[in-house]
Structure 1
Amino acid sequence: MIEVKNLTISYGGNSIAVKDINFLTEPGTILSIIGPNGSGKSSLIKGILGLVQPTSGYIEFIEKKQDPHTIGYMPQTPRFPANIKVKELISFFKKLEPVEEESFQKLFSTLELNNHMDKKIGSLSGGTKQKISILQCFSSKKDLYVIDEPTASLDPYISHLLKSLLIEKKKEGSLVIFSTHILAELQELADRFLLLSEGSILIDDSPGNFLRKNNKTDLDQALMNFWNEEYKTKP
């Protein structure tokens, strides 16, 4: 469980990326964060990952167990050392944390990485780098998975695999947080979503409930209507 309380993140002066945000998450949930560029999505994700410190407020991991929480992170653009080979990077992954070898090998095989083992990371396509990022993120069970724009450069087959992994991790009791610009993806996967704008939360709801309240079946249309109404009220 994560509690975000009165969270503000600024980068000096009047540059406020996140403004007094509050929400509480539950394990076994898929939470999506959406919003236009500059809405505060990236800063909120960085705050959850501990990559930036709050200016005020806090992000607290509330655990039912005494063990420290574990986080799997899959960025939109993987950044691995260009001059090492795939097999060297995978060996490094295994040294970082214990993996369940059977599950690891199954995922490795599904991602079809065997033919790339002797290639240097810098020679790989963006899609193959994302496959390695999937392997790194899901190579062991985590309490929290943070996924940024998960299907941006994936082919349909691997995109489907990743979505299946997110649902599987939810069923295992992990919390999954992902940002996306693809509303069909949100509607397919998310139990709940946050719409951010100018650093604040405009919507905190489930996709189904939001559609019912707006008497729509298409999330894209429902959000567009909401957005138009929201900005009609602005001076």
Structure 2
Amino acid sequence: MIEVKNLTIGYTGNSAVVKDVNFSTEPGTILSIIGPNGSGKSSLIKGILGLVQPLRGQINFLEKKSEPHTIGYMPQTPRFPTNIKVRELISFFNKLEPVEEDRFQNLISILELNNHMDKKIGSLSGGTKQKISILQCFSSKKDLYIIDEPTASLDPYISHLLKSLLVEKKKEGSLVIFSTHILAELQELADRFLLLSEGTILIDDSPENFLRKNNKSNLDQALMNFWNEEYKTKL
């Protein structure tokens, strides 16, 4: 479980980009974070990961299943050393943490990485780098998975695989947090979503409940209805 209390994040010379955010989550849940560009999604994710120091507030990891709390992270844009081979990078992954070898090799095969083993990272397409990012994120079981724009630059087959992995990790009792701009993806996967705007949470709800309250059949329509009402209140 993660408990976020009064979290405020800002950067030198700028006003706060995350403002007094509060929410908590349970294990075995898929939580999606959405919002327009500049809404604070990336800063909130960096705060949970410990990559930025909050101005105030707390992020508490409760009910740990392991010590220390284990986190898998898949960024929107993978950044690996460009001058080493795929084989060397994968070997490095194996040395960082124990993996289930059969599962690890099966994932390499499914991701179709065997044909790239002797290529340098710098020569790979963005989609292939994302496949390597999937491998490093899911090569061992974690308590928490944080996935930023998960299907960006992935072909439909690998996108389907990744979504299956997220559901599998939820069933194993892990917490999954992912940000996305694809509302159909959110509706398909998320148990709950947060809509951020200007650093604050405007919506904290399940997709099903939000659709029901707005009497709509899909999130595009429901969120457009919400934004229209939100806009009216500011006039």
Q: TM-score, normalised by structure 1?
A: 0.98
CA distance in 2, matches of 1:184, 1:198: 23
Q: Contact 1:20 / 1:57 at 8 angstroms: preserved in 2?
A: yes
Aligned to 1:77: 77
CA distance in 1, matches of 2:9, 2:67: 28
Aligned to 2:117: 117
Indicate the SS of the match to 2:94: helix
Aligned to 1:45: 45
1:28-39 counterparts in 2 under 5 A?
28-39=28-39
Give, as a single letter, the amino acid of the residue that structure 2 aligns with 1:69: H
CA distance in 2, matches of 1:14, 1:177: 27
Do residues 163 (structure 1) and 166 (structure 2) align?
no
Do residues 145 (structure 1) and 139 (structure 2) align?
no
Deviations 1:150-179 (CA, angstroms, capped at 9, x unpaired): 001000000000000000000000000000
Q: TM-score, normalised by structure 2?
A: 0.98
Give, as a single letter, the amino acid of the residue that structure 2 aligns with 1:113: L
Structure 2: segments with no counterpart, 5+ residues: none
Percent identical residues: 88
Structure 1: segments with no counterpart, 5+ residues: none
CA distance in 1, matches of 2:14, 2:91: 45
Change (3 A) 1:195 1:100: same
Q: Contact 2:65 / 2:143 at 8 angstroms: preserved in 1?
A: no
CA distance in 2, matches of 1:184, 1:101: 34
CA distance in 2, matches of 1:200, 1:45: 14
CA distance in 1, matches of 2:160, 2:177: 17
Do residues 56 (structure 1) and 56 (structure 2) align?
yes
CA distance in 1, matches of 2:116, 2:217: 43
Change (3 A) 1:149 1:66: closer
- Give the ranges of 4+ consecutive aligned residues of structure 1 lying more than 3 Å apart after TM superposition: none
Indicate the SS of the match to 1:211: helix
CA distance in 1, matches of 2:55, 2:90: 37
Q: CA RMSD for the aligned pairs?
A: 0.9
